[in-house]
C-alpha cells in the first residue's frame, strides 16, 4: 500500500515552471525536482535558466532550460514544443511569471504599463494552459498551479493594476477548474503575501511598507521564496488529488 510520502512523490512526471529562474519560481523549480519531477525552467534570460538547471542536475535531478517571454505567443509555442520534444509530456504547469512595472496611483499609470502587466500576468497563463492542454493534459490529465497574490484578494494602494491582474488569474483558476475537471486536470492557485524577492524589492526595502507588512502578519515577518514551494509540490502531487479550484493563501496570516 502506498504511504502518504509516496503520494507526495513526483517521480516520472514532467513540470514546466514559467518565471522559474529566480525568486519564488526558482524555489519552485528546485522543489519540484527534489520531489522527483523533470523540470523545464523558463524565463526571459537563458543564462538564468541554465544556472537553475545546473543546480538541479548537480543534485541528481533532471531539468531543461527553455528560455522565452511568457507573454509572447511565439515564445509560449516554442517553449511547449521544446518540452514535448524533450520529454514527450507535461504533467505539471506552474504559471509563475509575472510583472509589476508600476507602483503608483491609478491616476499615473499608462496604457502601455497596463497592457504589459495584463499580457504577462493573465494572457500568458491562459495561453500556456491552452497550449499544454492541447498537447497533453486534455487526454492524460495533469495539475496546473497559478501563482496569484494576496493583492488579487484584498485592495492595496498603488498596486491596483497588479492586483486586478491577479484577481483575474484567481477567477481564471476557478473557471478552468470547472472546465478541465472532467479531463482529469486540476487547477489551483497560491496567493503569496509579501515575499523577500527581487520582484518585491521596492516593497521589502521601503521601511514604512516593510514594517507595515510585518505588523500585519500573524507570524510577525515577511516570507521567503522556499516557503512557497511546499504548497506547489503538494498541489502538483497525488496528495492533493481531490483539490481543484482552490486558492491557497501563503501570507503569514496577514488575511487572518
Query: Going along the chain, which residue ranges are E strands?
Result: 14-18, 38-42, 63-65, 92-95, 142-147, 185-192, 247-250
162 is a catalytic site residue: yes
240, 243, 233: which is closest to 36 by C-alpha?
A: 233
The backbone torsions φ and ψ at residue 158, rounded to the nearest 5 degrees and listed phi first, read 75, 0
Sheet bearing 247-250, strands edge to edge: 63-65, 38-42, 14-18, 92-95, 142-147, 185-192, 247-250
What count of other Cβ atoms lies within 10 Å of the Cβ of residue 156? 14
Is-contact 13 92, C-beta < 8 A? yes
Is-contact 58 94, C-beta < 8 A? no
Q: Among the options 87, 128, 162, 199, which is catalytic? A: 162
Q: How far, rounded to the nearest angstrom, does the alpha carbon of residue 151 sit from its chain's CA centroid?
A: 15
Is-contact 190 234, C-beta < 8 A? no
Contacts of 35 (CB under 8 A, 6+ apart): 8, 9, 10, 11, 233, 236, 237
Q: Is 104 helix (H, G, I), strand (E, B) or coil?
A: coil
The three cell numbers locating residue 222: 515577511
- Enumerate the active-site residues: 162
Amino acid at each position: 500500500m502506498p504511504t502518504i510520502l509516496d503520494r507526495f512523490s513526483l517521480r516520472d512526471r514532467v513540470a514546466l515552471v514559467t518565471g522559474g529562474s529566480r525568486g519564488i519560481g526558482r524555489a519552485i523549480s528546485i522543489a519540484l525536482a527534489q520531489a522527483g519531477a523533470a523540470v523545464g525552467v523558463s524565463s526571459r534570460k537563458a543564462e538564468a535558466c541554465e544556472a537553475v538547471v545546473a543546480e538541479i542536475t548537480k543534485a541528481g535531478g533532471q531539468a531543461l532550460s527553455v528560455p522565452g517571454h511568457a507573454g509572447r505567443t511565439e515564445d509560449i509555442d516554442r517553449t511547449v514544443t521544446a518540452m514535448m520534444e524533450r520529454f514527450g509530456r507535461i504533467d505539471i504547469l506552474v504559471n509563475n511569471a509575472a510583472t509589476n512595472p508600476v507602483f503608483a496611483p491609478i491616476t499615473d499609470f499608462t496604457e502601455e504599463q497596463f497592457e504589459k502587466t495584463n499580457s504577462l500576468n493573465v494572457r500568458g497563463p491562459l495561453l500556456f494552459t491552452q497550449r499544454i492542454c492541447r498537447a497533453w493534459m486534455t487526454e492524460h490529465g495533469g495539475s496546473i498551479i497559478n501563482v496569484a497574490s494576496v493583492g488579487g484578494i484584498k485592495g492595496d494602494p498603488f498596486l491596483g493594476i497588479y492586483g486586478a491582474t491577479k484577481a483575474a488569474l484567481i477567477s481564471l483558476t476557478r473557471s478552468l477548474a470547472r472546465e478541465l475537471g472532467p479531463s482529469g486536470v486540476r487547477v489551483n492557485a497560491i496567493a503569496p503575501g509579501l515575499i523577500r524577492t527581487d520582484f518585491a524589492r521596492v516593497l521589502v526595502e521601503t521601511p514604512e511598507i516593510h514594517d507595515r507588512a510585518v505588523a500585519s502578519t500573524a507570524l510577525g515577518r515577511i516570507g521567503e521564496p522556499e516557503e512557497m514551494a511546499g504548497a506547489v509540490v503538494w498541489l502538483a502531487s497525488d496528495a492533493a488529488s481531490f483539490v481543484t479550484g482552490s486558492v491557497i493563501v501563503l501570507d503569514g496570516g496577514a488575511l487572518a
